[in-house]
Amino acid sequence: MKNKIKKYLFITFGISWISWLIVILLMQFGLVKYPDFLSGLIGIIGTLGPTIAAIIMIDERKNLKNIFNFIFNKKEKAYFYLTLFSIILILSFGIIGTYNKEIPLYLIIPLFIYALTFGGGFEELGWRGILQPNLEKRHSFIVSALITGIIWGLWHAPLQIIQGYALFDLSFFPFMAGIIMFSIFLAYIYRKTNSVFCCAFFHALYNTLTTIFITNIGSLIIELLLAIICIVLYYKEKCS
């Protein structure tokens, strides 16, 4: 179990941080300005680190069928929970946030598709598909979710020094707090659905909503409330 986690993290951070370091160095020498074509392409390779590592870590033969099963395996009521949690999230942003009128309605679907593929969604193949389950072999659900959240947050660190990237203007500690709380919620979704795709869909939905709604600190409030709800539900289920 330890070796599997170490291998996953080594591949993930290796691909991502080396890619982003190349972008940072190219920017320092004035060779690129993010997000032009070259820096954007290298940056995308970096964001795929968790996804590539997860595919490498699949135990079975790495053919399309096994990769498909790894992504789309699910429990019987998986899509019920996905729908329920998605409605809760959309309503939360609708109540707390204000729609950003600079983003046309026709861009919402393309924004979601980008968020699902290159904008965070398919990171879930690694964070919830590989790291969280392997941590749970040794730690409790909550502790594993917290560890996953801390690692996931630190993985983003180089992006906060790439001028032009979405995380550049964010304060590190509020960002870490938010991502740790969101990690608990995503871990609970995985627990209820056993579906990497459901986690990817929800991650993408969240990223899309943070783009089209102006929330200020509202997103932190949403993340905190969702984390508390999941912790309460987890311990209620555990005691029943």
pLDDT digits (tens, 9 = 90+) for 188-208: 999 999 999 999 999 999 999
Q: CA gyration radius for the chain?
A: 18
CA 113, 197, 17, 56 torsion-angle sign: negative
User: Taking CA 84 as the corner, what is the angle to CA 82 and CA 86, rounded to the nearest 5 degrees?
Assistant: 65
Predicted confidence at residue 172, as pLDDT, reads: 85
Q: Rounded to two decimals, what is the model's pTM?
A: 0.94
Burial of 125 (0-12, 13-18, 19+ CB in 10 A): buried
**Residue in 144, 120, 174 with CA at minimum distance from that of residue 234:** 144
Predicted confidence at residue 56, as pLDDT, reads: 93
Q: Any idea which residue has 């919620």 for tokens? A: 185
Predicted confidence at residue 1, as pLDDT, reads: 65
Predicted confidence at residue 218, as pLDDT, reads: 83
For the residues 111-120, what does the mean pLDDT come to?
A: 94
**Residues 132, 195: Cα–Cα separation, whole Å:** 12
CA distances from 170 to 11, 174, 182, 186 (A): 26, 8, 16, 22
- Given a cut of 70, whether residue 226 has pLDDT beyond it is yes
Predicted confidence at residue 169, as pLDDT, reads: 75
Q: Which two tokens stand for residue 92?
A: 């939360």
- Given a cut of 70, whether residue 110 has pLDDT beyond it is yes
pLDDT tens profile 67-76: 999 999 999 9
Contacts of 188 (CB under 8 A, 6+ apart): 145, 230, 233, 234
Predicted confidence at residue 152, as pLDDT, reads: 97
- Given a cut of 90, whether residue 98 has pLDDT beyond it is yes
- The least confident of 57-66, 176-185, 204-213, 221-230 is 57-66
Taking all residues of the chain, what is their mean pLDDT, rounded to a whole number? 93
For the residues 198-225, what does the mean pLDDT come to?
A: 92
Asked if residue 184 lies in contact with residue 227, where contact means CB atoms within 8 angstroms, the answer is yes
Predicted confidence at residue 59, as pLDDT, reads: 77
